[in-house]
Amino acid sequence: MLPSRKPDSMLRSRYRIIETVGQGGMGSIYQAEDTRLTGRFCAIKEIQINPKTPPSHQSQAREQFRREASILARLDHPNLPKVSDFFSEGNRDYLVMDFVRGDDLRQKIEEAKSNERFIPERQVMGWVAQLCDALSYLHSQSPPVLHRDIKPANIKLTPDGLIKLVDFGLVKLMTPDEDRTITVLQGRGTAFYIPLEQYGGDTGHTDIRSDIYSLGATLYHLLTNEPPAEAKTRFLKPNALVPPRSLNPQLTTRTEQAIQWALSMHPDDRPPSVQTLQDFLVSKDPLNLLPSYEDSTVISQIAPVNRALGAIALGLLIFSIMITFFSPMVPPIH
């Protein structure tokens, strides 16, 4: 990985780097000042192209970045930072967006946990309503836009109480004519918050229900002070997910059911849309009998097989009994 930009260095003769606010294996995020617009601060996401890849692949990656970053630049929602510019320098691509001040929700969880309390459910539901609005907006685009890295650390709470879903580093665009997705910026998300289908990286099929799983995992963490069991752990141990109300008895049953619904292992068992999940959270109707959080793809696949094997075994048993009772007696051989 290339070294980060130093403070006071310039990008595109316009953006003055103030400091590095985030760094990972694929690049860095900077706070910068836009020198053309006095007083405007922005966040700049830097993505590094692997210099070891063939030149043709580098060219394809850069073209894909430019094409899809232009779609991000057209997004306009109060709970999303506005993307205002994108460009390339050397083997690095840059995405410029609003700099969002305030704490992220991971900090709010840590603060609550250190004080041995839970964030009030009503307060979390207010945040989630804003988050659902942002995700519904993304998913309603043509083609739909997936975030793929929803987690408390990527959700900012501004001083005036506005929620912002930040870091477009793992956004994906679903092509409208094909049942697959294409990556904007490479990445695989964070283990506690991603569904099993996302472990395949770019080879795994993800859709809006993958974001719904991550939203459910984020809601679980916000309300229990603990992240949920990872999907790969739950695949091997279907009972690994601790019921939310076991950790926070103050939670309502409806919220617990909403969380377990969103955290269903198989995408088909999750809410079909963010709006469906939000409607369930605020509904006054009697609680529905949702699939239990113990249910998983493993169980749903094994149970029918076991039933079939049981039926075969029962049939063989009945057949053997009939043979025993109705077969002609054969005299013993002396």
Respond yes or no: is residue 104 known to be catalytic.
no
Q: How far is the C-alpha of 222 from the C-alpha of 123, rounded, in Å? A: 10
* Residues 6 or more apart whose Cβ sits within 8 Å of residue 170: 147, 148, 149, 184, 185, 187, 188, 189
Q: How far is the C-alpha of 291 from the C-alpha of 286, rounded, in Å? A: 16
Amino acid at 105: L
Contact 155, 166 (CB under 8 A): yes
Token pair 């890849």 is at which residue? 53
Catalytic residue from among 93, 104, 133, 149 = 149
* Residues 6 or more apart whose Cβ sits within 8 Å of residue 237: 229
* Residues 6 or more apart whose Cβ sits within 8 Å of residue 112: 118, 119, 225
Q: How far is the C-alpha of 251 from the C-alpha of 220, rounded, in Å? A: 11
Contact 45, 94 (CB under 8 A): yes
**Radius of gyration (Cα) for the chain, nearest Å?**
26
DSSP string over 101-163: PSEEHHHHHHHHHHTT----HHHHHHHHHHHHHHHHHHHTSSS-EE-----GGGEEE-TTS-E
Residue closest to 53 by CA, chosen among 63, 45, 43, 61: 61
- Catalytic (active-site) positions: 149
